[in-house]
Amino acid sequence: MPDLADISIRQHVMAALSEDIGHGDATTEALIASDSSGRAKIIARETLTIAGVAVAKAVFVELDNEASIDAHFEDGEEIQSGECILTVSGQLRSLLTGERTALNYLQRLSGIATQSARYAKAVSGTGVLILDTRKTTPGWRLLEKYAVQCGGARNHRRGLDDMILIKDNHLAALSSECAIAEAIRRARLISPDLKIEVEAETLDQAQQATEAGADIVLLDNMTIEELRAAIKLIDGRAQTEASGGITLETIREIASTGVNYISAGALTHSARAVDISMKIES
């Protein structure tokens, strides 16, 4: 499990609180004395895979650095409806002011973890790894890629800087005859430290990429038959990744083609927020 660096969490949380609080939490300041203290429970309202416990903690600590927080589960665990995830004791004002922000983080990140766990489970036993994509919420790359791991899937490249991925638009921009081989040659020369992946929409492109020495071939939007043919043609000379239109219904059959990785944007860009709520104990 990766670290969620404290530095990054804290700045994210501070910006989120500032955005929500604005000029002040008018309701809480009017109703609750500044020296009142209390306790709150954060509770799952459906079955889910949890992610973001440290972020939720950071929300309450930012507002009350003497708050006492007990986490009853760790990121990556499956939680049943009704189970208590966190107990927070501290200033009542901080509990009330932080509630929505803490839940917004937990619901979104756990939604992604839960979705990722479903995808990972669908291919369990096949040896195929599920990967995410760069289709993340701007500003949330680190957090969402972390949630994907909490669900048992893996991360594809984290940004434009840690891998060469030659896509259709790069080839369209290059527009020369032997574009794939030439592109791989240039990339290897400039960035000898990076792996090279090439997107192939046809068997011919898959063959060009393989012969030019790509480390990974991304088989994009192919049918099951095309995938099988491509994998046979590549024959272990490069690793293979299937992508495009992946759903929970089709994923197991895709895995059966012998592909190494399956990547799905839906892990991050369309995960439904899971239901989690907070209760102040009176």
Binding piece for its own copies, criterion CB under 8 A, among 79-87, 159-167, 217-225, 250-258 = 159-167
**Which residues ranging from 211 to 240 are in contact with its own copies (CB under 8 A)?**
215-216, 239
Binding piece for its own copies, criterion CB under 8 A, among 42-50, 181-189, 226-234, 251-259 = 181-189
- Shortest reach from residue 70's CB to its own copies, in Å: 18
Unique residue bearing structure tokens 């492109």? 205
Distances (CA, A) of 25 to 28, 46, 101, 178: 6, 29, 12, 62
**Which residues ranging from 23 to 52 are in contact with its own copies (CB under 8 A)?**
23-32, 34, 36, 38, 40
Helix (H, G, I), strand (E, B) or coil at 31: helix
- Shortest reach from residue 184's CB to its own copies, in Å: 10
Torsional class of 226: left (φ above 0), alpha (ψ -120 to 50), beta (otherwise): alpha
The residue among 97 and 208 lying less far from its own copies, judged by its C-beta, is 97
- Shortest reach from residue 159's CB to its own copies, in Å: 4
**Which residues ranging from 71 to 90 are in contact with its own copies (CB under 8 A)?**
none
**Which residues ranging from 121 to 150 are in contact with its own copies (CB under 8 A)?**
129, 131, 134-142, 145
The residue among 38 and 258 lying less far from its own copies, judged by its C-beta, is 38
Strand intervals (E) in the chain: 37-44, 48-49, 68-71, 78-79, 84-91, 129-131, 164-166, 196-200, 216-220, 239-243, 261-263, 276-280
**Which residues ranging from 237 to 266 are in contact with its own copies (CB under 8 A)?**
239, 260-261, 265
Provide the annotated active-site residues: 100, 135, 167, 199, 220
Among 161, 225, 235, 249, binds its own copies (CB under 8 A): 161
- Shortest reach from residue 147's CB to its own copies, in Å: 13
Partners of residue 43 on adjacent β-strands: 84, 277
Of 153, 256, 152, 171, the closest CA to residue 212 belongs to 171
92 binds its own copies (CB under 8 A): yes
The residue among 84 and 225 lying less far from its own copies, judged by its C-beta, is 84
- CA diameter of the chain: 73
The residue among 71 and 273 lying less far from its own copies, judged by its C-beta, is 273
The alpha-carbon radius of gyration of the chain (Å, integer) is: 23
Q: How far apart (Å, rounded) are the C-alpha atoms in residues 219 and 83?
A: 42
Q: How far apart (Å, rounded) are the C-alpha atoms in residues 18 and 16?
A: 5
